[in-house]
Amino acid sequence: MITINSNESLKPYNTFGIDVCAHLFCEANTENQLIEFLYDKELRRQPLLLLGGGSNILFTDNVDGLVLKISTKGKEIISQDDESAIVCSAAGESWDEFVAWTLEEGLAGLENLSLIPGNVGSSPIQNIGAYGVELKDSLKEVEIIHLADGKREVLNNEECRFGYRDSIFKNELKGKVIILSVNFQLNKNPDLHLAYGAISRELAGIGIKHPTPCDVREAVCRIRRSKLPDPAILGNAGSFFKNPTVSNDVFTMLSRKFVGISAYLQENGTYKLAAGWLIEQCGWKGARRGEAGVHETQALVLVNYGNATGNQLLALAAEIKESVLRKFGIELETEVNIR
């Protein structure tokens, strides 16, 4: 049976560590509890906020209505052949623990996405990505359940309409479905993605010439730990802003004006600028506004030094956006969901 708590603090459930309360709060640990919620007419009348790992949200106020935390567990190989395997994970599984498990099973494809915080069920919403790889590269299907009528549906990769940190779940289906599970097609004969310079340098630095998928995971974890703060120690939600994409003409103009600008050529001929570089050039690395600040080694990460409010962090983000726009003519877009 699902348990409902009143005036529950959400501080333990968001990686920024923002201390706000939910009017009502419940945690679904099984699929049956999710079904129970769907058929509870009293609960369904409440405004609803779905919460996964809380790693991509900034709370700016108490939450009216009901917060439903998805904590369902379970992962398995559902089919395989000599070349690949289809694996399934429940939405509430830890993303990084799931990645580690796939590698233990001898399956490659997710190693570049190691150590990204959050749960598996949240990963398709953002189409998470890192070091030259995106979730869509390995995702096969997403099983969802519609809030309106409890109907189950399976969406394939194309139907998820993935884009850069984008998907159908942030658009047409936002607030209309719960993600139940995610299926991935992974490889037994790995095709490693090492083009991202930081990975190659890290592997060379630890003397690995013929890396395995597990070596790539280790390199990625080392890089992320060296650059990004642990949310358990310093409140943050990882990258606060998206990397902006510009045309070739705009990039050419910027590169002439700003020597050393950090950017990555995309397949369609556009350039993805490194938002962290832009922010750093505006002098924000290590800056603080009281308890809200910019991380001292990664300007893309906003941090809560202890008792910052969501509104204080949001005000800092607005200052950063305005300065980048003024200096570069580039408008940054937040990656973190503001609530």
Q: Up-side HSE of residue 252: CA atoms within 13 Å toward CB?
A: 4
97 is catalytic: no
Identify the active-site residue in 8, 27, 89, 165: 165
Q: What does each C-alpha distance from 280 to 253, 274, 286, 287, 324 come to in angstroms? A: 19, 10, 9, 10, 9
Identify the active-site residue in 27, 141, 202, 335: 335
Q: Which of 281, 272, 336, 332 is nearest to 304 (CA)?
A: 336
How far the first Cα of the chain sits from its last, in Å, is 28
DSSP 91: T
- Helix, strand, coil in percent for the chain, rounding step 5: 30, 30, 40
The whole-angstrom separation of Cα 138 and Cα 12 is 31
The whole-angstrom separation of Cα 56 and Cα 277 is 21
Q: Which of 136, 90, 91 is nearest to 112 (CA)?
A: 136
3-state SS class at 12: helix
222 is catalytic: no
Specify the pairing of strand 301-304 against strand 235-239: antiparallel
Q: Cα angle at 99 between 56 and 139, to 5 degrees?
A: 75
The whole-angstrom separation of Cα 154 and Cα 152 is 7
165 is catalytic: yes
Residue numbers annotated as active site: 165, 239, 335
